[in-house]
Structure 1
Amino acid sequence: MSPKLSQVCFHKSETGSSPSPPRALYQRSSKFFIVLTVAFSIFTDIFLYGVIVPVIPFALHHRIGIPPERVQAWTSILLATFGGALLVCSVFSGWLCDRIHLRKWPFLGALLIQGAATLMLCLATSTAALLTARILQGASGGVVWTVSLTIMTDKVESAGLGQALGYVAIARSLGVVMGPLLGGVLYERTGYYSVFALSFVFLAIDGVFRLSFIEARTASKWLATKNTEDLAETTTKKEPNKPVRRGSSISEASPFRRYAHRVHRRLPPVITLLADLRLDVALWGSFLQAVFMSGFDATIPIFVSRTFGWNSLAAGLIFLALVVPTCISPIIGWLSDKHGPRWYTAAGYLLSAIPLILLRLVDHDSTQQKVLLGALLALLGAFGTLFEIPIWAEIFRCTEIWTMANPRQYSAGGAVGQAYGLSNFFYSLGFTVGPLLTGFTYEAAGWSNMVLVLGITSVVSTIPTVLCTGGYIWRRKTERVDGVSDGGVAGS
């Protein structure tokens, strides 16, 4: 790297070793550029995950020599391996994120691991190499999702977080669309290695973004007075008013309550956060969203190949129907910020059950059946957005309220990183369970029973969502925090 380029991308002032500000400080630390950097990192992570989804079944058979009858099982195992590694690394990366000043370092480290995993996938000629590569991909994904979202929440105020997350969701959706689509096209037309050539292009672009941005906490040391005041105003907006607590103080409480309070304070924050039922319901949403996504990743290519005789190109194209409708994500995020997440999330679960259950009707090869499959997947993608985006913002707001109510329990870095680490943990748990649940249910009980199970699960999820999301519904008239019921504190 040339001296000029290194000065632009990673100035000494970012580590505190130079008093002078880096070049283009305002632009590189702006909300627009940080959201763009975070969104592209999410896009790259999902693209690298999805680009080989339509390729895996064919590569397992033709490149590695797996018998056709074992391809579905190995496809599910590889997808579940990715989720397992994502699961293990998510909580640790959240803990680390809250305890280091420069979150850029693990962000860059994850990029290097992504590059190594992609190279290994490209050169793999055995199942052991494929499994190792997917483990590295999952590990880097745990860091990327946790660190990037924490970096973004440092810059974006709480009132606008849902809309910002909507743009991240669009990037995620583009990765979901472009990964399987371009993977299928390139593999079908130009061969195996071209799939990974494109992957390295996106990794290089992502590297430029990650090297160039400057974190909000770092930039605040050099921004002009006006910008410092803006940052203080943003911080004020992000801090909801503390709720009025009824009842006696801890010192006046019973001995049992005092003992429980002392135990609670000594537990790791990542554990005490799980005591918030409102947060638990949001984490369930992260889990379920991953089950749906990874479950269809594992089964749709096989299903359309068996039912319609489609190749990898067509299998990749069908994912367009599932993901394109998610372009409404920023609108859903804005509406959720304005009106609260409860009813949007509940409607998302309930409405998603309709296309899920109706997918049972797709059972033979005809033009009408292909159109029906595409239409139902499009509805599922649109309805899924209704609960996905509000849940992301809900996780941050629950944590924000919880840490304000228990300030002495958390470090100066707060617990946002650990909250997103928990979100990633449950999301990755869903990525582990999803392919296994849907893959083996599909093989044992058929497509119709598989989608029926997913539909019933979506309906049942509506109940805790109505009761807890946005604050406990039975307390919403008496406890309000910044327009949202204080379910998190009340649940402590």
Structure 2
Amino acid sequence: MLEERLHVGSDQTQRFTSISLALHGLVSVFGGPLIGHFADKASNRKLPFLIALVGCIIGTFMVACATSVGVFFGGRVLQGISGSGAWIVGLATAANAVGPEQIGTTIGILMAFVNAGMITGPMVSGFILEAGGYWLTWSVPVVLLLIDVAARLLIIENSERPSTKAPAEAEEIDSLLHSQDGGQEGPSAPSSNFWRTMLSNSRVMTALLIGTWGPALSTCFNATLPLHVLNIFGWSSSRVGLMFFLLAVPGLFFSPLAGYLRDRIGTRKPATMALGLQAVFLVLLGFAGNSHFDWACSGGRGPALYILSIVAMGILRPFISGIGPVELTSVVKAEEAKNPAIFGPRGGHSRVFSLVEVAATAGMTIGPIISGILVEQFDYYRMSWILSVISIIMATLAYTFLGDKDKAREANAE
């Protein structure tokens, strides 16, 4: 698209690809907190969600129809803002519908589809582009977004359902909540504590760091994998698509398991083990096909080792992604259990997911930039080692700060 429609020189393709991916995340980083703030104040989440989806459709049309770099990047900006809104409001709606004992499993199932979408997008586009051409390829996300709009119109939120409480009972509860917040009106005073409460919590900050690392690594693959396997193995776009497919499919099966484990034992142990193993397979990705290491190159071993490492990364991904929503939602529910009015009458779920969105989109922003710089300045092999070291650091933080259900039970018993 960059070379044929926008007439970008082939020597600048990698740079413009990285900028395109980074820009989407950059605008979301700044837009996320504002979206979360206003979504928590809205009377319901249906209208913000629908506006976000319509924005996604318009932004996608702009990118698809672009014949100039300006229109292309304008569409990417609109996609970033609108996609951020759909993500924040959608996850807040889901989290609000389940209890704290089910949040891990629920987020695990949702993240299976999130990861599948992020990774299979390049795969599907690669196959359809070869088989059906440019416009058929772009029709797929537009059709999916139209289905999203129709589905959101059919959803009935908890807040939209008629109240089952008697008027007197509802009035009594409102009076009680009013007295608990010191007679102050709505969320004005308590809500101001949300950002300070969350950002001063080491468990929250660790979850957000890991929530930045996961998308950063995903976009590292998006930015470097296609060119790397073309140069090393001579693979076509359909084989590149297969690599993204192998990254995505394990998540469909393992994400619910990862969510179940978080509900049962917490996030600490699964995340620590997954991040540690991820470091190992990142190094193996760098070895695969490297002519300096005969054992990882000769006799077809390079492609086999690369494919094996990609599959392993796909299996490990669900145990790392989704940590942010689970940890932050748990912290919010714990704070609200101590003081029901602390984050305002509509709670803080939208703001929780705005923080998660900022972390994720920050990762999407820095991932392609860092990987592009590392590949250009060094090579794919050294980039893999550097990413492996970062994964080990994340594993150490996860072991130190993330939630552990066994420890919580011991503390309660004492």
TM-score by length of 2: 0.87
- In the alignment, which residue of structure 1 is the partner of 2:294? none
Higher relative contact order (CA 8 A, sep 6+): 2
Segments of structure 1 that go 5 or more residues without pairing to the other structure are 1-58, 226-263, 486-492
Query: Which runs of at least 4 in structure 1 moved beyond 6 Å after TM superposition?
Result: none
Name the count of aligned residue pairs.
386
Following superposition, the deviation at residue 369 of structure 1 comes to: 1.5
- In the alignment, which residue of structure 2 is the partner of 1:194? 136
Q: Is the alpha carbon distance of 1:312 and 1:429 closer, same or farther for their aligned partners in structure 2, counting shifts above 3 Å?
A: same
Following superposition, the deviation at residue 216 of structure 1 comes to: 1.2
Asked if the contact 1:333/1:390 (under 8 Å) is kept, the reply is no
Structure 1 residue 357 corresponds to structure 2 residue 290: no
Following superposition, the deviation at residue 387 of structure 1 comes to: 2.4
Following superposition, the deviation at residue 177 of structure 1 comes to: 4.1
- In the alignment, which residue of structure 2 is the partner of 1:433? 366
Following superposition, the deviation at residue 268 of structure 1 comes to: 4.9
Q: How does 1:189-268 map to 2 (within 5 A)?
A: 189-221=131-163, 267-268=192-193
Q: Distance in 1 between matches of 2:222 and 2:62?
A: 21
Q: Distance in 2 between matches of 1:266 and 1:386?
A: 32
Structure 1 residue 306 corresponds to structure 2 residue 248: no
Following superposition, the deviation at residue 380 of structure 1 comes to: 1.1
Segments of structure 2 that go 5 or more residues without pairing to the other structure are 167-188, 291-296
- In the alignment, which residue of structure 2 is the partner of 1:22? none
User: 311, 314, 317: which one pairs with 1:378?
Assistant: 311
Instruction: Tell me the alpha carbon deviations over residues 8-34 of structure 1, each in whole angstroms, 9 at most, x when there is no partner.
Output: xxxxxxxxxxxxxxxxxxxxxxxxxxx
SS in 2 for 1:388: coil
Instruction: Tell me the alpha carbon deviations over residues 122-180 of structure 1, each in whole angstroms, 9 at most, x when there is no partner.
Output: 11011111111111111111111111111011111111111111211221133134311
Structure 1 residue 140 corresponds to structure 2 residue 82: yes
Alignment-mate amino acid for residue 204 of structure 2 = L
Q: How does 1:113-192 map to 2 (within 5 A)?
A: 113-192=55-134
Following superposition, the deviation at residue 265 of structure 1 comes to: 6.6
SS in 2 for 1:470: coil
Instruction: Tell me the alpha carbon deviations over residues 64-113 of structure 1, each in whole angstroms, 9 at most, x when there is no partner.
Output: 11111110000000000001122122111111121112111110001110
Q: Distance in 1 between matches of 2:212 and 2:59?
A: 25
Following superposition, the deviation at residue 406 of structure 1 comes to: 5.0
Structure 1 residue 333 corresponds to structure 2 residue 259: yes
Asked if the contact 1:94/1:418 (under 8 Å) is kept, the reply is yes
Asked if the contact 1:322/1:374 (under 8 Å) is kept, the reply is no
SS in 2 for 1:80: helix
User: 255, 266, 272: which one pairs with 1:346?
Assistant: 272
Q: Distance in 1 between matches of 2:262 and 2:190?
A: 32
Following superposition, the deviation at residue 419 of structure 1 comes to: 1.3
User: Over the residues paired in the alignment, what is the CA RMSD in angstroms?
Assistant: 2.5
Q: Distance in 2 between matches of 1:177 and 1:275?
A: 33
Q: Is the alpha carbon distance of 1:170 and 1:478 closer, same or farther for their aligned partners in structure 2, counting shifts above 3 Å?
A: closer
* Sequence identity percentage: 26
Asked if the contact 1:332/1:385 (under 8 Å) is kept, the reply is yes
- In the alignment, which residue of structure 2 is the partner of 1:26? none
